[in-house]
Amino acid sequence: MEPNYAFARSMAKKVLKDYRLSEVPTDLSVIFKNLGLKYIELNDADDIDGAIIEIKGKPAIAVLNKAKPIQRQRFTLAHELGHIFLKHTRRDVYDSDEIRENSNNLISKTKPPQETEADIFASELLIPYEQLKKYTADINNIDKLANTFMVSKQAITIAIMNFWKHDGKKKTKS
């Protein structure tokens, strides 16, 4: 099975629209609350990374650990939201470390298609294409863009690469 990029991306767009999330950085807590998830912020370096915890097979609690790099936490949570919205069965709430490490490489042939789809969803949710368009003037300033969207430099770089691919040769003059 090949990952369905268009489906993953359009689902993220739908979520942004449905929850009226028209500003960046995307406020994930709005989505958690609308889904009826309890949202907990931790501040403990020894505790878990961001996760969505299931109770009786249903997503119940979203955890964000502020003691860990926030950009990574946000991507992890958005990725997990991807599994929920894309209705992936056998969702591994705590994605294995191996998969997590691989997720640095957004489009990898070695990972399950669901993982790639969840990453695509997360990327569009946190770095919406429509929003990225507004910041083309900053496209050479990865640090600034990463701050604007509150994502890692790696995530923003991948989004920009995809942006370029899809948006053709529209270059911005600096």
Buried/exposed 23-57: b ≥16 CB within 10 Å, e otherwise: ebbbebeebbeebebebeebeeeeeebbbbbeeee
- Residue 81 found at the interface with Zn ion (CB under 5 A): no
- Residue 95 found at the interface with Zn ion (CB under 5 A): yes
Task: Please identify, using beta-carbon distances, which residue of 25 and 112 lies nearer to Zn ion.
Answer: 112
Binding residue count for Zn ion, defined by CB under 5 A: 3
Q: Give the burial class of 142: count Cβ atoms within 10 A of its Cβ; 0-12 exposed, 13-18 middle, 19 or more buried.
A: middle
Stretch 99-138: interaction string toward Zn ion, x if CB under 5 A:
----------------x--x--------------------
Task: Please identify, using beta-carbon distances, which residue of 98 and 143 lies nearer to Zn ion.
Answer: 98
User: Which residues in this chain contact Zn ion in the complex, by CB under 5 A?
Assistant: 95, 115, 118
